[in-house]
Amino acid sequence: MSPAQDIDSMRMKAILLVTAAIAFALAPLFSGGLGGFAHDLFPNFRIAPPVQPAGYAFAIWGLIHATLLASALYGLVARSTDRGWNRVRVPLISSLVPGAVWIAVAALSPVWATVLLWWMFAFALLALLQSPAQDRWLLRAPLAIYAGWLTAASWISVGFLGAGYDIGPGKNGWALIALAGVLICAAAIQSVLRRTPEYGLTVIWALLAIVVANTPTHMPLAALATAGIGMMVAVILRRQA
Spans of all domains in the chain? 3-34+41-240
CA distance 153 to 232: 17
Cβ(149)–Cβ(206) under 8 Å? yes
CA distance 121 to 151: 6
CA proximity to 71, closest of 20, 148, 138, 131: 138
What are 157-169's pLDDT values in tens digits? 999 899 888 888 8
Residue 134, pLDDT score: 87
Helix axes 140-164, 170-191, angle to 10 degrees: 160
CA distance 207 to 74: 31
CA distance 34 to 25: 11
> Kind and range of the H or E element at 37?
none
- Contacts of residues 66-69 at CB distance under 8 Å and 24 or more positions apart, as own/partner, are 66/25, 67/141, 67/142, 67/145, 67/146, 68/21, 68/24, 68/25, 68/92, 68/96, 68/142, 68/143, 68/146, 69/18, 69/21, 69/22, 69/24, 69/25
Residue 47, pLDDT score: 66
Residues of the chain with pLDDT under 70: 31-36, 38-39, 44-47, 241
Residue 234, pLDDT score: 96
Residue 82, pLDDT score: 96
